[in-house]
Structure 1
Amino acid sequence: MMNAIATRFRQIIAERKSPIGRYDRKNKTRRSLVLYTCMGLVGGILALLLIASPGLAQKPQLQQPLLVATRVIPPFVMSNKGELSGFSIDLWRSIANQIGVESKFIEYSSVPEILSAIKDNKANLGIAAISITAERQQNFDFSLPIFAGGLQIMVRNSETNDSAFPNILQLFFSTSLLQVIGVALVLIVVAAHIIWLSERHHKDGMIPQSYFPGIFKACWWAAATLATQADEMPKGVLGRLVGIVWMFIGVLFAAYFTASATTSLTVQQLQGDIRSIDDLPGKVVVTTAGSTAATYLREHKISVLEVSKTEQAYNALQTKKADAVVFDAPVLLFYAANEGKGKVQIVGSILREESYGIILPNNSSYRKPINQALLNLKENGTYQSLYDKWFDAEKA
């Protein structure tokens, strides 16, 4: 055993001293250097390719279909036997085709549910009539605007009202009628003082000489004459001249008052008592919970009846549980032109302009390709054709 070990040790020493052994070790070292150099070159080339093409490194993983959260809200999203259609659906399908991704729609009941699904990674993005707001942008990303809209008011059609009598109290307390009454009171006071000054020294005058109660009698005469119901005429020459002028003023005033009252009654019958945001305080106003309309109404100190779906808001208006609906203008216009035709009407102008967008998680890698696709669709005319399809004159 010891002899074998000694023999092997002498062989190793001999190999180290041999020129052939040294040559083999040098070859092995050279081969290792060449191998390491090749590996370094390949790694460097790959690194340069990644640096030169950052889009390759940032491109989203496309193996799984994108989960797109949405909600039924005509004409943006409509459902017919489980098949979705509408402006937002067609627009997203065009975008998905542009960026080359597959997608799957997941329906939710409201915008808050869509936001929650995106926040909890249950959906990759959301599209419907989702308003872009500063508050939402703190927690989410938005695409470029896909639609410009705003908030508007919808009320029942005046022809569907059961009451045949207009609101007389509201008529008398309207701003225009109060202005007319104010002007009439000023004219009565002025005319009363003129009559009192001209009649107080006439022996047969109708006005007592003293200021009180003479001025009260003069005011009564001026008011009665203005209403064309004068029962006594001044006795003095100046007083009679004033009386004649005052009677003509009374005729003109009676005509103007009648015209104003008739106009107010006609407008009230045609448009009802809600015509703008100023008429909403004290009314029952319905909208969907968590919407920008609900926030807007609360900001203006208007009590809000919040429901989960727009269909419930429409029903509350039709069953007179609410006096008005405040919601997105294109949605209300579509309903008024289709299901609600002849039953409801849109009043007033846009309360607040809003833009809709595609909502994504913060720092989403899909935001840039979606925006690029949107720009392409607007430039090649696809967006305009979709807009005309869903928002033409007959439907909006």
Structure 2
Amino acid sequence: MRALLAVLCLLASAPALAQAPAVPRPPERELVVGTRVAPPFSMKDAEGNWEGLSIDLWRHVAERLGLRYRLEERDTVQALLDAVATGQVDAAAAALTVTAARRQAMDFTQPFFATGLGVAVGRGGATAWLPVLRTFLSFGFLQGVLTLLGIALLVGTLIWLFERRHHEAYGGPPLRGFIAGAWWSAVAMTQAGAAQDGPRSLPGRVLAVVWMVASVVTIAVFIAGITSALTTQRMQGVVRNVGDLRAIRVGAVAGSSTVEFLGAQRVAFEAFSLPAEGLRAVKAGRIDAFVYDRPLLAWTIQQDFPELEVLPITLDSQNYAIALPLENTTRVALDVALLETLRGEWWARTRLRYLGRDGAN
């Protein structure tokens, strides 16, 4: 009898155990959503209306949840973050990176975009020659030159040994004969002109033929290697990693996640209020590089700074999300709507429209 009662009690409680916790309903009041100009994620059109990847995403999610809201602009990243942390706004949709320090003061939804920090530099100028100088001063280049020099000296020594008894140019004191052999070897290797005082003995002439053919291949390989290294260095630019930033003048946006990254990496920098100010400083030569969120840099340079370029490297890693005040009851509903949206065709089309094919992948 007791066993039967236990089974009946278990069956009665099963629906309650299987029922998932209800998602809190979003507030019915009008929400205040903060934003700032950060193209292509948040920007204004010619009529002053807000648009952009983050803005369109918020509108799409808010429509799905039936949220009423109005957008309020803040001038800087720090002002927008302060508005979220103090509860002046109910959410912030722009290009906000999730960091540990920010997470202590506010909440974030599921990330909707993964990116990293980019480095903007001038297309020309003095800094453009630094990668070239770096190549010529590198150990690899020095090793290649010394290898060629060593082979030329070895061939020159053999020519002297073969010809010292058969050719007056290589006779006399050993030093004189060695220099003559080394000079002939270098001239034959570089094809700088007709090599004078060629070998007369059979071993010397055989070695000369082999060396002339081999030197053509050797020089071609050497030149190809240097060209490839110079091309790679030029593509990478003056900055290849974080360590290179410590040797040049760097700029960053005050209050951005870039500042936290540069500080942790012990990189000195000059702070600017807006990305455009830092890019103008690069253009004017007051700083050598400007570090900021890569998609924002690429967009701004494409629109307004054709004299600059974003190097093909990515520093750090970043996740953009919608910022919320702590203990916000809307987050769960927003997360569910975001996860459903990010897997759909609408999001793929929207990314393609704002970022193109490179940014949409």
- Normalised by the size of structure 2, how large is the TM-score? 0.74
Distance 1:110 1:354 in 2: 19
1:282–1:303 Cα contact (<8 Å) kept: no
Q: Which residues of 2 match residues 201-216 of structure 1 at below 5 A?
A: 204=168, 206=170
| 2:188 is the alignment partner of 1:228 | no
Deviation at 1:76, TM superposition (A): 0.9
Over the residues paired in the alignment, what is the CA RMSD in angstroms? 4.1
The 1:378/1:252 distance shift into structure 2, 3 A limit, reads closer
Distance 2:253 2:145 in 1: 42
Distance 1:193 1:343 in 2: 53
1:334 match: 299
The 1:168/1:71 distance shift into structure 2, 3 A limit, reads closer
Deviation at 1:209, TM superposition (A): 6.5
| 2:144 is the alignment partner of 1:180 | yes
Distance 1:226 1:306 in 2: 54
Deviation at 1:308, TM superposition (A): 1.5
Deviation at 1:273, TM superposition (A): 4.4
Distance 1:358 1:126 in 2: 6
The 1:280/1:141 distance shift into structure 2, 3 A limit, reads same
Q: Deviations over 1:264-286 (max 9, x none)?
A: 77788x85944743765533333
Deviation at 1:374, TM superposition (A): 1.2
2:40–2:354 Cα contact (<8 Å) kept: yes
The one of 330, 335, 346 aligned to 1:371? 335
Q: Which residues of 2 match residues 183-332 of structure 1 at below 5 A?
A: 183-199=147-163, 204=168, 206=170, 218-229=181-192, 230-234=195-199, 236-256=201-221, 273-274=237-238, 276-277=240-241, 282-298=247-263, 302-332=267-297
Deviation at 1:367, TM superposition (A): 1.1
Distance 1:384 1:266 in 2: 35
1:141 match: 107
Q: Deviations over 1:144-196 (max 9, x none)?
A: 111222223333345xx699999975563367644531331231243244335
1:119 match: 85
Equivalent position SS for 1:316: helix
The 1:171/1:231 distance shift into structure 2, 3 A limit, reads farther
2:320 match: 356
The 1:193/1:144 distance shift into structure 2, 3 A limit, reads same
1:288–1:307 Cα contact (<8 Å) kept: yes
> Tell me, which stretches of 5 or more residues in structure 1 are unaligned?
1-51
The percentage of aligned residue pairs carrying the same residue is: 28
1:102 match: 68
Distance 1:259 1:225 in 2: 19
Distance 2:221 2:27 in 1: 75
The 1:299/1:182 distance shift into structure 2, 3 A limit, reads farther
2:311 match: 347
Give the counterpart letter for 1:130 in structure 2.
Answer: L
Equivalent position SS for 2:314: strand
Give the counterpart letter for 1:370 in structure 2.
Answer: L
Give the counterpart letter for 1:226 in structure 2.
Answer: M
Equivalent position SS for 2:87: coil
1:193–1:218 Cα contact (<8 Å) kept: yes
The one of 81, 86, 94 aligned to 2:52? 86
The 1:297/1:195 distance shift into structure 2, 3 A limit, reads farther
Greater relative contact order, per chain length (Cα 8 Å cut-off, separation 6+): 2
2:160–2:170 Cα contact (<8 Å) kept: no
Equivalent position SS for 2:304: coil
Distance 2:298 2:93 in 1: 20
Distance 1:167 1:356 in 2: 33
| 2:317 is the alignment partner of 1:386 | no
| 2:116 is the alignment partner of 1:153 | no
- Say how many residue pairs are matched: 338
Q: Deviations over 1:339-394 (max 9, x none)?
A: 34x43333314344422111223332221111122134345644334333323359
Distance 2:267 2:154 in 1: 42
Deviation at 1:74, TM superposition (A): 0.6
The 1:138/1:395 distance shift into structure 2, 3 A limit, reads closer
The 1:302/1:249 distance shift into structure 2, 3 A limit, reads farther
Distance 2:42 2:135 in 1: 42
Give the counterpart letter for 1:310 in structure 2.
Answer: P
The 1:383/1:72 distance shift into structure 2, 3 A limit, reads same
1:74–1:331 Cα contact (<8 Å) kept: yes
1:73 match: 38
1:156–1:344 Cα contact (<8 Å) kept: yes
Give the counterpart letter for 1:312 in structure 2.
Answer: E
